[in-house]
Structures are given as structure tokens and as C-alpha cells.
Structure 1
Amino acid sequence: MTDPRYTWLPSNAQPDEANPPWMNKGDNAWQLTAATMVGLQSIPGLVILYGSIVKKKWAVNSAFMALYAFAAVLVCWVGWGYQMSFGHKLLPFLGRIDDALDQHVLLKQAFGYKFPNATMLYFQFVFAAITLILIAGALLGRMNFIAWMLFVPLWLTFSYTIGAFSIWCPEGWLAKMGLIDYSGGFVIHLSSGVAGFTAAYWVGPRATRDRERFPPNNILLMLAGAGLLWMGWTGFNGGDPYMASIDASLAVLNTHICAATSLLTWLLLDILFFEKPSVIGATQGMITGLVCITPAAGVVQGWAAIIMGLLSGSIPWFTMMVLHKKIRILKQVDDTMAVFHTHAVAGTLGGLLTGFFANPKLSRLFYLVDTWEHYIGLAYGIHAGRVGAGFKQMGIQILGVVFIIGLNVFVTSLICLFIRLVVPLKLSEEELNGGDDAVHGEEAYALWGDGEKFEKSVHNSVYGVEDVELKGKRKSESAV
């Protein structure tokens, strides 16, 4: 029966049992769409990116590390991770352990937003999943896959949940202090960068031959994966107001402005110093721009996004291309995808620049709370005569950086030390030399000479009739 309070609405907009009065169909649809876009960043985005940016012999293993993490995180997330990250408070930095599988939980309104917990759980799951997949980037080409299978649920449980609850849950201690992390600069990118680097230290380096020369097996596919990552960031940052609002629109535009500026900055630096426009370098610049804008996307103006892009395309470039060769610890640790530079450095940079450029009027659109003036960047604090408030915000942002770094170095180290009591963290020498075939019994590409059924075929598109005739001619010549 139609509620008499809503008879003035069109029939398709009137609430019913499946569409309660508190739910907004547009917001719910956007949130589900944004979540799916973030999921596509991982599956297939990073699966393709990882599988193509590594040596051919590690393509399957690298892609499969991402695919496994996506599936494992979901099971852990609904089992206990979501409630530990967003449930009832157990400690100032952690929620109570509980599942999120019952309809009485899933169909309730999520935190006062206009969609159900099921949507929120899905949206937050894809963020948790991509964090683990980003960590995998530091470990490609040598981590024991069984050790990775253990690492994923352990790190999600003992590290990610603490960061997410502390910063994103309304009951978290850093959230109450007023830390600004619009969409995961701290919770996702700084965490994954530090955790990946720490895990890479404990796992150890790749085989010497791989570390000295590790060319991509398919740069075009790498660009396809990078493109999915970039476009998927529309949902990554556009979904975090939790509504289809004007602030979501601003966040999306700022995201792409910063990414493009950062890519071009990195590209120009490569041309100036190495005299070649590197495709891989441009991809790294794109990623650092996306990472840098993430904590600030909907609370800064467009001109600030450009400045952030200039800095995210130059400072991580400097740490990767210059400092990396001079600082001993950076040279020692084999960080395959350079996640320390692209995520830890860029994430820290973004978090601090958020504390500088955050506009309180835009913060009002994002937070929708009476204390919106509390979220003021240092630049606006100086302009408005509220210097103390601006410095306070910078102090909170710095505290967040220190907390996330300390948490991930400590917890990631403990997890790695525990796992190596059970199984080796690193593959054996035989497996390191053999790659995918030795680890999985499978290979990525069946080109001529690799696939037995094509080896002698004159109809093979790679090895044609003319090549067969040429090979026969060479054999006869050598016989003579």
C-alpha cells in the first residue's frame, strides 16, 4: 500500500518495501556504479597492468597475485573486515569483530546516507581489495604464492582495518580529530606504499638477472591497464561524497586535471634529463598524480589540483630517479613497481598538500556538518586570519602520516616474520629461474616455439610457409 505522505510523487518514485523512504535511487545507483568502476581498476585493470609490465616469464604469476587478492579480500571483508573497519567501536582505532552477511545488517541505512549497508559494504570492499593489489606491485617476480595467500587476509585484518577505522569511521580517533582524507591518500596509498616496501624488504630481491633487466612483455597492454586505472579513478574519487552531488563532480574533474598535469610533468622531466619520452615514465607520472589528488579531490579548487599535479609529477620523479640511487635503504630493497615512490611518497605529498589547500567552503559540501569550518587548509587559514586553525590542520595531517607509516612498518614486519615460520616468503632458486612455468605450470603466451601443436605447422600465422622454406633451405646448405 502506498504511504499517503508520498502520494504526490510519481508512481515510479514512491517508496515501497524495496525502496524505503530514506533511500535515494540516484545516490544508490551512482554508488554502485562508482564501486564497480573501482573494481574494474583491479579486475581487469591491474591484472592487465601487472601481467604486461613484467618480464614474460612472470606475466601469469603477477596477474594472478592481483586476481587472488581481489577474491580473498571479499570473503574476509564480509566475514569480519567491514565490521572491524566501520562497525561498532571496540577501541579508538578498531571496530568489533562481526560478520556482515545478514539482511538485518545489509538492508539498513548506511551511516545516515541515502543507500543501504550492502552498497556501502561493496563500495568499501573494492577499496580494500585494490590496497592489497597495490602492495603486490612491490613483490612481483619473487614472492612465494602460498606466502602471498597468507599475507592478504592477515594484512587486511591487522593493518587495513585499523587505518580505515581510525580515519574513515565516524568513531575513529583521527576522524574525530578532523583528518582530511577524501578518498584514501592515507588509508590506501600511503598504507600500500609503506607496506609494500616493508614486505619487499623481508621477502628479499628478485633473481639477479631479473633485477638487472626486467623489460615489459607488452607495453600496449600495459597502457590498456593504465587506462582502466585512470578512468576507474572517476569512481574512486567521485564516489566518496556518498551521493551524486556537485562535490562529486568537482572531485572527478580535479582527479583528471591533476593526473594529466602530473603525467605531462613527468614526461617533460624524462625528456629534459634522459632525452627520451618514456611511456613507462608517463604511466608512473599518471599514477602519482592520481594518488596525490586522492586525499584532496573534493576539497580543493581546480588551480590547486594543477599545482598538486606539478608537484606529484616532479617530487616522486626526483625521489625515484635521483634519491633512489643515493639512499642505501632504497637501493637495497627491491621494490618491483616502485610503489614506495608512486604511492608512499605521492600519498604523503597529497596528504600534506590537502592540509595546505583545503577550502573550508568545499569541505562544507563534502562533510555536510555544522563544524565544516574546522576543515581549513593552511593557505586559507592565512588568508582568513585563522592561522592557528590552518597550522592545526597541517599538524593533524602530519600526525596521520606518522601514524600510517608506523602502523604499516610494524604490522607488516610482524606478519612477514610470522609467515616465514610457516612457509618461505620467497620462491626457490629453481622457481625464480623458471618463472610462471615452474610456479604455476602455465605460461602467458603460446608463440611459435612455445606451443607444441603449432611448432611444425606451415599454417601458423607467426611461422609461415616462406619461413618453412627458408628454414629447409638453410638445413640443406648446412648439410652440404
Structure 2
Amino acid sequence: MDPQLPPNLRPDESSPEWMNKGDNAWQLTAATLVALQSVPGLVILYGGMVKKKWAINSSLMAVYAVAATLICWMGWGYRMAFGDKLVAFWGKPAVALDDSFLLGQAFIGYFPTATMVWFQFGFAAITPVLIGGALLGRMNFVAWMVFVPLWHTFCYTVGAFSVWSPKGWLAKMGVIDFAGGFVIHLSSGVAGFTAAYWVGPRSVKDRERFPPNNIVMMLAGVGLVWMGWTGFNGGAPYATSTIASLAVINTHVCAATSLVTWLLLDIYISGKPSALGVVNGLITGLVCITPAAGVVQCWAAILMGLISGSLPWYTLMVLNNKMRLLRHVDDTFAIFHTHAVAGSLGGILTGLFAVPKLSRLFYMVPDWDKYIGLAYALQMGRTSAGLRQMGIQLIAIVFIVCLNIVATTLICLFIKLFVPLRLSEEELQVGDEEVHGAVAYALSSSDGTDHHILRNAKVNSMYDHEGDEYPSVMLKTSSYELHRV
């Protein structure tokens, strides 16, 4: 024990010599920021972004996915993703519940395995929540309850082990995925699109008109997601390092650039700035920078933001209406465009712009020089190394795409044998009240059993033909009658 250290920094039984208290504190904080992106971030975003009659269903799908994933993660998922090797792309299932395992040093970093389990849980949890964004407004909730643990077990853990585990085959090849462009975003985008194909579309009326029921709440939700990304990418180095700081600033610079780019394109085409455009532009920027956050220069992050705010905009606003497959599959929140397209872009641009010095500071391995972007490889006369890196990035994209198409299809077909994937026609027409026995916005009697509406009030609001108004209304009368429905 070093007598020169202050008492609070001296190692003891609960603070072993290998643990860095600063790193552990930041990693726990970053992990909680990631978890907050799902609950309440995406819960609020989904609840406000859907049609009023689906607000409860959409929020509950997100909340359930987080809870179910945590149970799977502790029971077998973490060690399938980061434990002992079973095959080249998968780890052996085992529990992560014993204190002898949780209190030992993590496989990387100067903090306990318990901290690593919590941090990586945030990533594991948000992925099925993102998949749910493609399925809102029609998936049978019981089928969703079965889908989440199956997909987590047979799909997420495979991608995480292959790309992030030191024993995974893509990790050994030298793929660069700083914080989940492949494992989380490309995976959720492809899986969501595939599942949407098998579940089928929303009702005709919902596909024709699906206005957000609360735009302010929607923007608040995406704001939580945005700020939570500080932990998402800032925690990826597993240390309070210079790379963590660079990853955070690159993340927000790219996101802001992408948001403004998308907004300007909306204004140029339609003449009006769109709140949905803000959400989509922000998300594509965050997704695109994720695989590159700590290994690219800030100017590259700006360039990535310009690309992520324009190319996914084109695929969503133009190609989506021209390609038969994209028109056919009802992807409720365009998860394919905002996550699969943007995630692929991020992975490819990482292979172009990764800086050798930054890669060395991030990976801290003897063979760090294999992580080199093609642009720098051409400049340094190492063209073959740069082409190899770009090839590895493309191989990872193909693997994640094929994995998610096949695994998600098999899971959906399996569930369909026992439970309908899709809600009944009556449930599709009514929504939350039929599915969950409650509505998101209602005036009720003192006993909470009756629903009421306001009549004889002049209301400044926007209605569709089914009465799905934006809930923030202005009453222009001093009196009204409260009627029981």
C-alpha cells in the first residue's frame, strides 16, 4: 500500500489495486446514459411519434424489451457475447450472477466485470427497442414478448461476439466498430425490416395517415436519445481517456451537421422545416458516427454528418417510393433507412477515414497498425492495408445483414407456429383500448372507470377522420360540458 496516496485512493478489499476509480465511475455513468436512451428516451419518442391510439402499445413494447433483455443478459446473454468461445462467431452460454465473476476485473478496462455487464446491457437493450420501431401499430404483444428473448439469444449475441469479443472472428480480422454501428444499428435496421415483412403492414387507415400524437414529447424523447449518446460513444474506450473526449465531441458535431442537412433538404423540397425531419436527421447522424467516433478527425465527423443527413434522406424520401420492396414492407419509423443505411454508411466511412494514431490510442494492441483508413493508407503509401481495412468493413456488413435476415426470419416463422404475429382486425382498428384496456389521453370519472370527452368547445387543433388529433389543444371558450361516452 502506497502511504503517499490519500486514504480514499488507497487499495483495499473493496477497491483492489487493478481498479481505477475514475474509470469505474465514468463507465457506470456512461452505462446509465445509454440505458436512459431506451427508458425513458425511446419510450417517450415512440409514445409521442405514433398515432394517438397506439401511444400505450408503442411505449410498452419498448419498456418490455428493456426488462426482458436484462433477464436474458444476466442469465446467459453476456457470456454468449463476451465469454468463452463456443465457435468462431459465438460464445458459450453461462450465467453472470456470481460475485466471484462480477467482482473480478473485466476482460478489458480497469473496473469490475459488473460494470462491464451493466454497460454492455445498455447496448443489448436498445437494439430490440430499435427493432420495435419498425413494427409499431400492428404486432401482437405476446408475439413481441417471445420475439425479444429469442432474437437477443440467437442474433444479438452472435453479432456482439463476432465484432466486439477479442475471440470473435471479425474482431481478429481487424474490423473497426467503435461503439455499435454494425452490432446495434445495422443489425436493428435489417432485423426490423425483415420482421416487418413477416408481421405485415398496419391497417390501411394507419398507413394512409399516421400523425404524431405529441410532437413536443417526440422531440423531448429524441433529445434524451441525443444527449444519452454521450455515454453511448464516450464509454466505448472503457476509460476516461482522450479518445473518450474526442468520441463525444465527434458524436455531437456529426449529429448536429446531419440534423441541419436533413432540415435544409426538407425546406428546399417542401418549403417547410419538418419535426420528423429533425428526428430522422439527428438519428442518422448519431448512427453514422458511432462506428467511427473515436478514430476519426473532427473534420471527418462533419463530412460524415453531411453524408448521413443527405443519403438516407434520399433513400427514404425518393427511393422508398420507387423500389417495390421498400414500398411493400411497412417499416413504421423507417428504421431501415435511419439505422441500416446510416449504419452501413458509418462502417464504410470508418474504413475510409480511420486515423492510424487514433486507432493506436483506442485499441492499444501490438498490431494496431492494421487499423488504418483507406484515405490515410493512400497518403502513407500503404494502399494494400487500406484496401484490406475497407474489405473487412464490407465483410462485416455482409455478415450482419445475412445473419439478421436469416435469424429474424426463422424466429418469426417459429413464433408464428404458436402465436399470431399480427393483431386481430378489431385490435388494429381500435388500438390501445382493445389491446391494453386503456387509452393514453382521456378524462375519467373519479373512480377511473369511465371515459369522457369535451363537447361544445371550440378547439384549435388538427384532426384526422378517426379523431386522432394532436393532443395539445387550445380551448377558446370559458365553459364546456363534460359528457360520458
TM-score by length of 2: 0.93
In structure 1, give the amino acid aligned to 2:96. A
Aligned to 2:370: 374
1:246 and 1:420, CA in 2 relative to 1: closer, same or farther beyond 3 A? same
Q: Does 1:384 align with 2:380?
A: yes
Aligned to 1:362: 358
Aligned to 1:418: 414
Q: Does 1:217 align with 2:187?
A: no
**What pairs up with 1:150-299 in 2 under 5 angstroms?**
150-299=146-295
Q: Does 1:145 align with 2:157?
A: no
Aligned to 2:469: none
Aligned to 1:478: none
CA contact 1:448–1:462 (8 Å) conserved in 2:
no
Aligned to 1:340: 336
Query: Matched residues in 2 for 1:108 and 1:316: separation?
Result: 43
CA drift at 1:448: 8.2
Structure with greater helix share of residues: 1
Query: Matched residues in 1 for 2:388 and 2:97: separation?
Result: 40
Aligned to 1:474: none
Aligned to 2:425: 429
CA contact 1:448–1:463 (8 Å) conserved in 2:
no
Q: Which has the larger radius of gyration?
A: 1
Q: Does 1:320 align with 2:347?
A: no
Question: For 1:467, what is the secondary structure of its paired residue?
Answer: coil
Indicate which of 300, 306, 314 corresponds to 2:302. Answer: 306
Structure 2 residue runs of 5 or longer lacking an equivalent are 457-472
TM-score by length of 1: 0.94
Aligned to 1:475: none
Aligned to 1:104: 100
Query: Matched residues in 1 for 2:364 and 2:69: separation?
Result: 31
Mean CA deviation greater in 440-449 or 132-141: 440-449
Query: Matched residues in 1 for 2:443 and 2:230: separation?
Result: 37
Aligned to 2:389: 393
1:25 and 1:430, CA in 2 relative to 1: closer, same or farther beyond 3 A? same
Q: Deviations over 1:54-112 (max 9, x none)?
A: 00000000000000000000000000000000000010101111000001110110014
Query: Matched residues in 2 for 1:397 and 1:387: separation?
Result: 15
CA contact 2:78–2:117 (8 Å) conserved in 1:
yes
1:191 and 1:14, CA in 2 relative to 1: closer, same or farther beyond 3 A? same
CA drift at 1:22: 0.2
Indicate which of 45, 48, 64 corresponds to 2:44. Answer: 48
CA drift at 1:454: 6.1
Identity %: 67
1:469 and 1:355, CA in 2 relative to 1: closer, same or farther beyond 3 A? closer
Indicate which of 319, 325, 332 corresponds to 1:329. Answer: 325
State the Cα RMSD in Å: 1.9
In structure 2, give the amino acid aligned to 1:468. Y
Query: Matched residues in 2 for 1:334 and 1:107: separation?
Result: 45
CA contact 2:452–2:482 (8 Å) conserved in 1:
no
In structure 2, give the amino acid aligned to 1:319. T
Aligned to 1:117: 113
Structure 1 residue runs of 5 or longer lacking an equivalent are 472-480
Provide the aligned length of Structure 1 versus Structure 2: 465
Query: Matched residues in 1 for 2:240 and 2:421: separation?
Result: 44
CA drift at 1:468: 3.4
Indicate which of 446, 451, 467 corresponds to 2:479. Answer: 467
CA contact 2:75–2:97 (8 Å) conserved in 1:
yes
1:22 and 1:318, CA in 2 relative to 1: closer, same or farther beyond 3 A? same
Question: For 1:90, what is the secondary structure of its paired residue?
Answer: strand
Aligned to 2:12: 16
In structure 2, give the amino acid aligned to 1:245. S
